[in-house]
């Protein structure tokens, strides 16, 4: 998987979120998008996911030797972000079964195994509405990391996690994300300590 942006920019009304960004994100590499709160990190992540159109410049998503059409990008992408909610009326097992109907699981894993890995086995059949914020974040990480996609986007992935949750996050990245393109949006170095390259969005404000 490869994503290439050329002289890319995104604005809302007259305000440019970023501009003149030329960058290539390569497979089997990890990147951190850094910058202060409100600087546009999440907006850039949405552009990279294919969910948001550029205001200027070009973006190309390729897998193998073929370029992906816009309507095909989502099939190759999984994302964990604070603004995407889980279905709280479902139990954990029901929710993961529902999610993995749309995105296949990583090979040799089952939903029961995933629930055990993220430490929520005792809450398997409890409605998600009764989960703590940290438990819900573990679910968001699970639905993204255990989806069999080559492109993984993590937006503030340790939101609401305690120390054990953060350790789990880093363990999951180390064990299940080695052969994928990973982009982390964060201003907390703990969340992107494993990233090979860093892009400061404030460098692309003019």
For residue 81, the domain's CATH number is 3.40.50.300
Query: Could you read off the pLDDT of 59-105 as tens digits, one per residue?
Result: 999 998 899 998 999 999 999 999 889 999 999 999 999 999 999 99
What is residue 65's predicted lDDT score, i.e. its pLDDT?
Answer: 83
39: region left, alpha or beta (phi > 0 left; psi from -120 to 50 alpha): alpha
Give the tens place of pLDDT for each residue, 186-203: 999 999 999 999 999 999
Burial state string for 14-49 with b = 16 or more CB within 10 A and e = fewer than 16: eebbbbebeeebebeebbbbbbeeebbbbbbbbbbb
Instruction: Tell me the pLDDT tens digit for each residue of 10-31.
Output: 999 999 999 999 999 999 899 9
CA distance 188 to 154: 12
Taking residues 36-59, what's their average pLDDT?
95
Pairing outcome for strands 56-63 and 197-200: unpaired
Query: Is pLDDT at 157 greater than 90 in this prediction?
Result: yes
CA dihedral 115, 177, 190, 168 (to 10 degrees): 20
Q: State residue 205's pLDDT score.
A: 87
* pLDDT for 28: 87
Work out the average pLDDT over 37-57.
Answer: 95
What is the predicted pLDDT for the residue at 29? 94
Question: pLDDT at residue 52 above 80?
Answer: yes
Give percent above pLDDT 70 in the chain: 100
Q: Which domain holds residue 145?
A: 2-204
Q: In total, how many domains does the chain have?
A: 1
Q: Above 90 in pLDDT, residue 138?
A: yes
Q: What is the mean pLDDT of the chain?
A: 96
Alpha-carbon span 73 to 87, nearest angstrom: 24
Average pLDDT over residues 140-163: 97
Token reading at 100:
């993995």
pLDDT at res. 37? 92
Does residue 206 have a pLDDT over 90?
A: no
Question: Alpha-carbon distance 197 to 53, whole Å?
Answer: 24
Q: List pLDDT tens digits, range 115-127.
A: 999 999 999 999 9
Handedness of CA 58, 61, 62, 68 (dihedral sign): negative
d(CA 85, CA 90): 12
């Amino acid at each position: 998987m490869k994503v290439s942006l050329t002289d890319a920019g995104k604005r809302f009304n007259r305000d440019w979120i970023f501009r003149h960004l030329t960058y290539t994100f390569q497979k089997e590499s990890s990147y951190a998008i850094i910058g202060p709160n409100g600087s546009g990190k999440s907006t850039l992540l949405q552009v990279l996911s294919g969910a948001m159109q550029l205001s200027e410049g070009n973006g190309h998503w390729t897998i193998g030797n073929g370029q992906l059409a816009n309507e095909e990008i989502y099939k190759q992408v999984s994302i964990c972000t604070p603004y995407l909610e889980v279905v709280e009326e479902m139990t954990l097992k029901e929710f993961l079964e529902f999610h993995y109907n749309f995105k296949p699981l990583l090979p040799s894993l089952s939903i029961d195994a995933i629930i055990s890995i993220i430490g929520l086995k005792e809450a398997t059949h409890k409605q998600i509405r009764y989960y703590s914020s940290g438990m819900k974040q573990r679910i968001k990480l699970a639905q993204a990391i255990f989806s069999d996609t080559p492109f993984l986007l993590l937006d503030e992935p340790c939101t609401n996690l305690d120390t054990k949750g953060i350790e789990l996050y880093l363990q999951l990245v180390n064990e299940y994300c080695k052969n994928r393109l990973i982009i982390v949006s964060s201003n907390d170095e703990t969340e992107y300590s494993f990233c090979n390259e860093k892009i400061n969005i404030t460098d692309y404000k003019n």
